[in-house]
Amino acid sequence: MANLVIVESPTKVGPIKKYLGSNYKVIASKGHLRDLPKSSLGIDIENGFDAHYINIRGKGDLIKEIKKEAKSAKKVFLATDPDREGEAIAWHLATVLGIPLEKTLRVGFNEITPTVVKASIKEPRNIDMNLVNSQQTRRLLDRIVGYKISPLLWKTVKSGLSAGRVQSVATRILVERENEISAFVPVEYWTVEAELQNADGKSFTVRFYGDEDGKIRLGSEEDTNNVLSAIKNGEFNVKSIKKADKQKLPAPPFTTSTLQQEAANKLGFQSARTMRVAQELYEGINLGSEFGGVQGLITYMRTDSLRISDEAQASAREFIVSAYGEEYVPESPRKFKANKGSQDAHEAIRPSQVELLPTKIRKALTPDQYKLYKLIWERFVASQMQSARLNTITADVENSGYIFRASGYSVAFQGYMAVHEASEEVRSQGDEVALVKDIRIPALKKGESLLTTGINAEKHFTEAPPRYTEASLIKFLEEKGIGRPSTYTPIITTIIARNYVRRDGKVLLPTELGTLTTKIMEENFSDIVDYKFTANMETKLDKIEDGKLEYIDVLSSFWKDFKADLERADQKIGSEDIKIPVEETDIICEKCGAKMVVRTGKFGKFAACPNFPKCRNTKPLAPKEEEEKSEEKVAKKEIIADFKCEKCGSDMVLRNSRYGSFFACSKYPECKFIKTKTQELEVPCPKCGGKVITKHGRNKSVFYSCVNYPACDFSSWDMPTSEICPDCGKMLFRKKGKNLLVCAEKSCGYKRECETLKTEVDE
């Protein structure tokens, strides 16, 4: 009679079974088996917030299989992911299988490696109900907020507005930044640089700094001319030279948020892509017989801890000595202090085996896996190395009472920089001036006179604060204590999927819908979108996990105030008449004469008559440059493409059919050449992260392909979406011709209907 091990992801089954041997059978739960019902609130608020969990639709056969295997097993080990969500899944599994809490055997694998898997299975524990209750509290809070607020929003806006507890805060952050940018007034300032030469004829550049009393800002042309007039006939003399040896410490190993930020900045990965690839590296890659077959390459990737195990540090130090030398290892292993409020349940993200150099296993990895593994490996190894030593120099040059400055540094000892250099720039301690690497400042002597070869004054204007990218938004959320490592990606994915936010290149922009929803939330549910309130709730969830708070008390306290807000909002919202602003076009509806407006459909934006449903006229939207073509095009009401017919060289014009839009030769029927019209979806290619476009097959039906074809061979009849599978983290696809979402990972088996109640928020 074999022991049964239940994991979450099917991809873990193979390697764990291999490590444990024939006495163990391993199966996957494929995420949650039970959840709150979608058709109702599912929470009895008046009776202690009793949650009504039901088996998830489509998981019936899997539950039967797990029950059957558990019944015949000697022992049942619940080996779901080692976090709150995984603990809750283990609890639901125990409930389904009828295992009393005191008899549960809970294990968690921080790494999917033989040593860790075998060691963990020997030391099982009971399910930690503090962890479970922390997850339950988050789940119930999100359900209550979503199901109670959304119907109130429908009274005013009939477009299915919904509100989420944390998503609404994230949207507010983007809306406020957009408001800052709109209100920003540029301020003028000037810079003055002088090209100088020393006695040996060696040139260098200095920049205006201030005077004897300190730094001065040149805010106008008049201020600048005063300086220029003063120094014009004056002489530049070396006032002081400051040299120093400084140390630059390595960055700590990655947490979830810093990994997402660095992957975005250095690799251009969106957070969902980063977490998907990290999941693959954690669960295991087949490296071939040379490296022991399937190996989990990194530790668990949802963590905000900076702790490193003693064994991992010892291995890293041994590797560094052999690869770089004794001088590259600090006297004692480095300890990094985590941010306030971070959890220490797991280690920081690091390679499972430091000996597995990225270059050694590159052939076994996809390009994305290699890039991310290399980033993680280098960051970890560097974090355990000696500091870099820098020779810094700051030269102050005086002319007519004004100070000009040049600063720079050179690397005296690489230290950790031999492996990895973080993206932040080096700054001199206590100096406002950023140091620039390897600035060539010639040998100077105090009091030395310098020859002026040129003076340049330039006008500038201060710039508005930058829009948020995924990386900077995640950084802001982390700094404010909003959300946790496992929630950053779902937050961003959700607000984009609900059209509250859209991507514009790398930046995130709030839509009209997002701005309107934020306005309504701020006026009626200020606590829900308040940064401090949301961060304080995260702190309470942490205290529930630590056993310092009862989850019922947290829910009761929240409901007391929230209920009062609901009652006030119910009276106020219903009396208002708020409409979502629409974007007008210059296209005139030929059926009723109204100006057509922009609408968004399954395949992107299109022009529609505002008098719908009385007038159902629609038109494809063409780029503005196409709309401004010749008078002949306007007269014919034709949209001319910016490419020519490949057969005869004539104009190509947009045509419509019941199968969709396409471009046809304007000389039809003499020339019958056609080219299908592609449309971009706002979702990344699941293979390479590029854009997904629509295409037409031979039977004229639509399919989806990567814009990078043939370099990337992704194609699918099912439509990729921006939603992520809750079971395995892969992308969800909408089945062709069906209102059904299915997981891209066939072995996962997750699926659900996509036409659900509009109150289903923060799910």
Catalytic residues: 300
Residue with tokens 């009776």: 47
In angstroms, the Cα distances linking 754 to 227, 396, 608 are 67, 66, 25
Q: Which residue has the tokens 């019944």?
A: 71
Of residues 372, 377, 410, the one with CA closest to residue 393: 410
**How far is residue 752's CA from residue 759's CA, in Å, rounded to a whole number?**
16
Question: What are the start-end ranges of the H helices in 184-266?
Answer: 221-232, 256-262
Query: Which residue, 451, 315, 436, is CA-closest to 377?
Result: 315
Work out the angle at residue 484's Cα, subtended by the Cα atoms of residues 346 and 758, and round it to the nearest 5 degrees. Answer: 135
**Percentage helix, strand, coil for the chain under 3-state DSSP, each rounded to 5:** 35, 25, 40
* Integer Cα distance of 349 and 362 in angstroms: 19
User: Which one-letter amino acid corresponds to residue 408?
Assistant: G
In 3D space, the residue among 448, 50, 42, 422 whose CA is nearest the CA of residue 251 turns out to be 422
* Nearest alpha carbon to residue 721 among 746, 695, 692: 692
Report d(CA 287, CA 112) in Å as an integer.
Answer: 14
Q: What gap in Å lies between CA 184 and CA 181, rounded to an integer?
A: 5
In 3D space, the residue among 138, 760, 106, 723 whose CA is nearest the CA of residue 484 turns out to be 138
How many Cβ atoms from other residues are within 10 Å of residue 616's Cβ? Answer: 10
Residue 304's nearest CA partner among 481, 476, 431 is: 481
Burial code (b: 16+ CB inside 10 Å, e: under 16) for 652-676 equals bbbbeeeebbbbbbbbeeebeeeeb
Q: Where are the beta strands (DSSP E) in 400-498?
A: 402-413, 449-461
Tokens of 21: 């041997």
In whole angstroms, how far apart are CA 42 and each of 59, 579, 760? 19, 31, 12
